[in-house]
Amino acid sequence: MLERYVKKILAARVYDVARTTPLQTLDVLSERLDTPVLAKREDLQPVFSFKLRGAYNKMAHLDAGERARGVITASAGNHAQGVALAAKTLGCRATIVMGRNTPSIKVNAVKRHGGHIVLHGDTYNDASAHAHRLAEEKGLTYVHPYDDPEVIAGQGTVGMEILNQHSGDLEAVYVPVGGGGLISGIAAYVKYLRPDVRIVGVEAEGSACLAAARAAGRRVRLPYETLDLFADGVSVAQIGRETFKICRRYVDEVITVSTDEICAAIKDLYDDMRSIAEPAGALSVAGLKKVVEARGPQGPSVAVVSGANVNFDRLRHISERAEVGEHREVVLGVTIPEKPGSFRRFCRTLGKRSVTEFNYRRADVFEAHVYVGAQVDTPADGRALIERLRGAGYAVEDMTLNETAKLHVRHMVGGRSGGDAPELLYRFEFPERPGALMGFLNGLGSRWDITLFHYRNHGAAWGRVLVGFRGQSKERRALEAFLKQIGYRYWEESGNAAYRLFLA
């Protein structure tokens, strides 16, 4: 298998449009980790992503008739841009099916490269099914984003360049994983020439389809309800059939990382390169850091920075989460007595550490709640701070990993439901497009009494809303049946500690 793919990689036609990207030493991160870290800068490609390589190689191998009829694909961004630019270079028509909630930066980029855009559905599955229907109806060639030998070979040229650019000791290559096209191509080439080099895949926690497949010994499909949407470039429910054949044999390890760890890696790359990677593009650095932190310094390692197509509006959210991902911030909900001097005493107990956020809310005549973010040096320092507060007699809830607290409640401290009737709290994700918020409200209708509503635009393809409904626990079943009719993903948060402390 490897020899066949190495021959394909060596013969791949990618350099008509793709660049040989630099292998750059990350000096700041290398010093901090005591591990030589090199970044393979695929964010510097003409479409700011490695995807151009595979798309062009596939299309360059089509015959004249196939090119004349045109190509089609489904993609939310990077692959779409690669197909559009490849088609423009090869002189054929490209139709790109994208979800209606695709961020404008990606839609506009595809248009600039001459791609014909069809907006359909809200998920990749919706767009993909429609693209396959159009391909059959119009005789178009479908260019798969990852599960195709020619696409895999095109992506494998990244591995070829890494070995050409770094001939010395090499511990590992860390590669972001979505459908597996990039890592299978790199693994095929590197393992054939340098079997001693470890290939490490890095996935977002909520879309770890390769880790799930390795654990099961077969390809599995992740449920849509749990699929991570933050690192949208790798938000894939099932690893490819062809890519898994390679990955199960030649990928040494798969690491999963959290949203906060991804955000911290984006900041690390900015500090070193003054370049902003997209969430999927920074996965490799997040995974490398996680390994070094757990096992100690490593030999020279390469992190493939796979792309930089990120909406500017998302940077606000990314910067908020970076410190937690670096384990330099803890987010706490602390209950203090409501009496003169207690607020000052609490601040003294915090000590002379930097406070990143501070929200105070009086609960009743006896106590008050404080939502506080505090900088720490290490995870152990964070745990020590919590123990010091508890030792001083304070009730402390650690909300550092609480999504509802970080996405919503931190912006809402001070609101109360009012009245005696209980409240049911739900967190939603809905496709972010013009009119979507109004559509969400219309979907809720007037049957339910809404007691709380928080929405904040994160510049992503999915909007996030926190909603409170007036209702008894016995009404939960009827409410959830109604919510399922709306069709959006949701999670009940009625028992969330952040809600109980600051909003209930």
Is 306 designated active site?
Answer: yes
Is 289 designated active site?
Answer: no
And the tokens for 160? 């070829």
| 271-276-281 Cα angle (round to 5) | 110
Largest CA-CA distance found in the chain, in angstroms, rounded: 83
| 398-399-405 Cα angle (round to 5) | 160
Cβ-based neighbour number of residue 167 at 10 Å: 8
3-state SS, residue 174: strand
| 70-76-82 Cα angle (round to 5) | 50
Per DSSP, 115 falls in state: P
3-state SS, residue 68: helix
Q: Which of 8, 51, 58, 406 does the annotation list as catalytic?
A: 51
Q: Which of 49, 75, 258, 306 does the annotation list as catalytic?
A: 306
Q: What contacts 24+ positions apart, CB below 8 Å, involve 482-486?
A: 482/447, 482/448, 483/426, 486/440, 486/443, 486/444
Any bridge partners for residue 307, and if so which? 49
b/e for 433-444, b at 16 or more Cβ within 10 A? beebeeebeeeb
Point out the residues that are catalytic.
51, 306
